[in-house]
Amino acid sequence: MTTKTLELFRVALKLGWIVKTKAEIRPKYSIKRNGGMTSVYQRTPAFLKLLKSLSIEDLEADKDLPWVQLKDDEGSILDLPSGYLLSHSYRRTVSVLISHYTLLISSSIYKLTDSKTTTVDPIDIRYTRQWKVNTGIGGRFYSPFCNYSKKDRLSITIKGETVGSWDFSQLHPTLLLLLEHGVGEEPNLFSTGDIYDMPEYPELTRAANKLFINTILNAKSRSAAIKSIGSAHHYWDLFEDTWVYETYSGKQKRQGEPLWPEKPQKKADEYIDAFLFRHPTFAGVAFKGLWGTLQLLDSEIMEEAVHRATAAGIPVLPVHDELVGPVSKKEELKQILIDSFHEVTQGKFSHHEPKMTWSTT
């Protein structure tokens, strides 16, 4: 429970709205092999009489929720370092997010649910910046809206207007090429123009290749990449009507069937060899564990884009390296993303125009 929820719970207990029906059992008194049991509580008739149904319009996000979070490797929230709290970076992020949220909640954002148009829950569009381990790793912007399917993201309306999205194409590999070689495209004989293209594996979808190739580029070692790719499972998503590929670590529960049932690590090793043969320009940046740096760059680009869009009065919803916004602002949003890319990279790659794709469905 959060501190506020716990406080409310204790008040409800004092008022007799809820009662304890079973006391806790401490581990040392428990007959269970592992641990004890927590207390069990139950609502009373008084609570049920007071219970009211609320609509989304009746709700508002807790104003005391943090705008920035730091989490450890296990996902537990850590205190933000005092130095970071005093930094210009922190103050700017909070300022951008507050202005952004203020614009969003006044922009009449609706979604189609079960053939009915409903207001998007305000908490769904409240973003936080999330760091991992330290405030120099990751830093992407998250909200429940980011978990909407692409179809659902593009089915919302903003101020009665349909939306579309600009999505950076191959952003992380492109950044690596620019940082390592100063060019945004592969200068080699086998290049097809798509970094995630692997003709040697026609049975794999582009999404699968994207997952495996980003693993190769972001893993801390070749053996770590082999282990991750070798864990790949796939299953058919009935809602999205496509194959879904996922990799796992440790004893995570697997979904679907193994991609390579026999000798998976050998198959993963062969896939890596095939990638480096097809895309040799990446040999110098593979297995360097650069995911945190790359996510830092794309999050800085998106913060700048959100700042510029909000200043222009354009409501936008970022989803990692994708930006959802009103269809009528298509060209303005494209230019905002291009300008933000060059602002964050300090004009070092002014010769390069990042590739983006526009979607409305």
HSE toward the beta carbon, residue 156, CA cutoff 13 A: 26
How confident is the model at residue 70, as a pLDDT?
Answer: 95
Mean predicted confidence (pLDDT) in 65-81:
91
How confident is the model at residue 317, as a pLDDT?
Answer: 98
% of the chain at pLDDT higher than 70: 94
Taking the C-alpha atoms of residue 94 and residue 108, their distance in angstroms, rounded to an integer, is: 23
How confident is the model at residue 34, as a pLDDT?
Answer: 58
Return the SS3 of 326. Answer: strand
- At residue 193, what is the residue type? G
Q: Are residues 13 and 73 in the same domain?
A: no
How confident is the model at residue 260, as a pLDDT?
Answer: 96
Taking the C-alpha atoms of residue 55 and residue 254, their distance in angstroms, rounded to an integer, is: 37
Taking the C-alpha atoms of residue 351 and residue 348, their distance in angstroms, rounded to an integer, is: 8
pLDDT in tens, 25-61: 776 665 555 566 788 899 899 888 887 777 766 767 7
Q: Give Cα 269 distance to the centre of its chain.
A: 28
Q: Which pTM was predicted?
A: 0.79
Residue 205 lies in a domain: no
How confident is the model at residue 322, as a pLDDT?
Answer: 97
Our CA angle for 276, 281, 285, nearest 5°, is 85
Q: Are residues 302 and 353 in the same domain?
A: yes
- Is residue 234 within 8 A of residue 256, CB to CB? The reply is yes
**More confident of the two residues 270 and 31:** 270
Tally of structural domains, the chain: 2
Estimate the crossing angle of helix 206-218 against helix 222-230, to 10 degrees: 150
Q: Are residues 93 and 167 in the same domain?
A: yes
User: Residue 326: what are its φ and ψ, rounded to 5°?
Assistant: -60, 140
- Is residue 187 within 8 A of residue 147, CB to CB? The reply is no
- Would the pLDDT of 245 be above 70? yes
Query: Which region among 235-244, 272-281, 352-361 has the lowest average model confidence (pLDDT)?
Result: 235-244
Q: Are residues 168 and 61 in the same domain?
A: yes
Buried b (16+ CB within 10 A) or exposed e, 54-81: eeeeeeeeeeeeebbebeeeeeeeeebe
Q: And the tokens for 196? A: 């995630």
Q: Are residues 136 and 34 in the same domain?
A: no
Residue 331: band (very low, low, confident or very high) from pLDDT cuts 50, 70, 90: very high
Domain assignment of residue 24, given as a range: 3-51
- Would the pLDDT of 358 be above 80? yes
Mean predicted confidence (pLDDT) in 285-308:
93
How confident is the model at residue 216, as a pLDDT?
Answer: 95
Residue whose C-alpha is closest to residue 170's, from 194, 189, 190, 154 = 194
How confident is the model at residue 63, as a pLDDT?
Answer: 75
Q: Are residues 33 and 91 in the same domain?
A: no
How confident is the model at residue 211, as a pLDDT?
Answer: 96
Estimate the crossing angle of helix 222-230 against helix 264-278, to 10 degrees: 120
Residue 93 lies in a domain: yes
